[in-house]
Amino acid sequence: MFPEKLINTLQQAQDIVVLTGAGVSAESGIPTFRDALTGLWQRYDVNQLACEDGFLSDPALVWGWYEWRRHRVLKAKPNPAHLTIAKLAKQVPKLTLITQNVDDLHERAGSHEVLHLHGSLHQPRCIACESLYYLPSIDMMQLTTADQECRINPPRCSLCGGLIRPGVVWFGEALPTKIWNQAVQASLQCDLMLIVGTSGLVWPAADLPYQAEKTGSFVVQINPTLTSFNSIAQINLAGKAGELLPQALSICISRKQ
Ligand code: BV8
Ligand code: ZN
C-alpha cells in the first residue's frame, strides 16, 4: 500500500515528469545497461564499447554489440511499466517522458514525444557525413539473440563510404541540445517526478532529479535497489516498475471517480 502523501500527490498532480533508465525495460527481457556488460560481454568495459574511440579501434566488435542489443529489442515487447506510463499520460494534464534508454519500447507502448537523452538503437548514421542509414528489415528468425559475442562489420555510407555508427550518445559526447533543454525545463516545472529504473550513475542525465527537487517537485523513486536518488526522493518504492507503476496508475484513475 502506498503512503498517504504519495496517494494525495498522485491524485492532485498536474504536471508529471517520468525519468526512466534501463530498469524500465528489464521486465521486457532487455538486459539493463550494466547487465549488458555481463555474460560474454563482461570482459569489456563500457569505455571499450560505448564510446567513439572504442568503435574506431574495433568497429566490428562495437557494431556487433549494438546489433546484439538491437536484435534483443526487436524480439522484446513493452512490459506493464511501459504500458502504464503511456496510460498515465492520458490521466493527467501534462506528462513529459524522459528516457536514457536507446530502445523504442516506450513508443511501442503508446508513449509520444519521448525525450531520448542518449539517442536510439534504431537511428544509425554515417560517422563522417552524418547521413541517416536505413537498417534493412530483419527476418525475425535471423535475429541474433544468442549470447555469443558477435563481431559484425558495420555497413558503409552509400554517399561517402564512411563507417555507419550506432545512433546513440556515447560517453564523451554531448547530449542532443534541444532534447536536453526540454528535459531540464520539464524537470524544473513539474510538480511530481517519477524516477524509474535508473542507477543514477550517468551524467548529466542524473542531474535532472536534483533540478526537480530544488524547485520543490515531489520526487518518487521506483527501483528494487538503493541509488544516490534515495537521499533526495520523498518516497522510495523498492520494487519492480512493472508491478508498482500499475498500482500508481490505479490511484490516479481513482481520483476521477
Ligand atoms: C557528456 C547510450 C560532455 C549508449 C549512454 C558530470 C557531468 C557531465 C558528464 C560527466 C560527469 N561525470 C562524468 C561524466 C562523463 C560521462 C558519465 O556520466 N560517466 C559516468 C560513467 C560516470 N557522461 C558522458 O560522457 C555524457 N556526455 O557529459 O558530454 C560533453 C559536453 C559538450 C561537448 C562534448 C562532451 C554522455 C553520457 C551518455 C552515455 N550513453 N547510453 C548505449 O546505450 O550503449 S548511457 C547508458 O547508461 C544508457 O543510456 C543507460 O540508460 C544509462 C544509465 O544507466 P541506467 O539506465 O541507470 O542503467 P543501469 O544498468 O545503470 O541501472 C539500471 C537500474 O534499474 C538499476 O538501478 C536497477 O536496480 C534498476 N532495475 C533493474 N530492474 C528493475 C529496475 N528498476 C525498476 N524495475 C525493474 N524491474
Ligand atoms: Zn557518409
> Which triple of cell numbers denotes residue 132?
541517416
154 Cα to the center of ligand 2, angstroms: 13
Return phi, psi of residue 19, to 5°. Answer: -110, 115
- The residue nearest atom 20 of ligand 1, judged by CA position, is 202
Segment 150-172, tens digit of pLDDT: 789 999 999 999 999 999 999 99
**Predicted confidence (pLDDT) at residue 147 exceeds the cutoff of 80:** no
Say whether pLDDT at 143 is over 70: no
pLDDT tens digits for 9-65? 999 999 999 999 999 999 999 988 777 666 656 777 877 899 999 999 999 999 998
Q: What is the pLDDT of residue 2?
A: 84
150: Cβ–Cβ under 8 A, 6 or more apart, which residues?
64, 65, 67, 68, 144
Of all protein residues, the one whose alpha carbon is nearest to atom 61 of ligand 1 is 199
Among the bound ligands, the one closest to the CA of 131: 2
Render pLDDT for 190-233 as a digit per residue (tens, 0 to 9).
Answer: 999 999 999 999 999 999 999 999 999 999 999 999 999 999 99
Instruction: Specify the residue with its C-alpha closest to ligand 1, atom 66.
Output: 199
Position 83 scores a pLDDT of: 98
Ligand 1 atom index nearest CA of 34: 60
This prediction's pTM: 0.95
Q: What is the mean pLDDT of the chain?
A: 91
pLDDT grade, residue 89 (50/70/90)? very high
Ligand 1 pocket, residues with Cβ under 6 angstroms: 21-23, 26-27, 32-34, 50, 100-102, 118, 168-174, 197-199, 201-204, 222-225, 227, 240-242
Residue 134 near residue 56, CB atoms below 8 Å: no
Whether 145 has a pLDDT exceeding 60, the answer reads no
Q: Where do we find the cell 516506450?
A: 106
- Bigger pLDDT: 34 or 240? 240
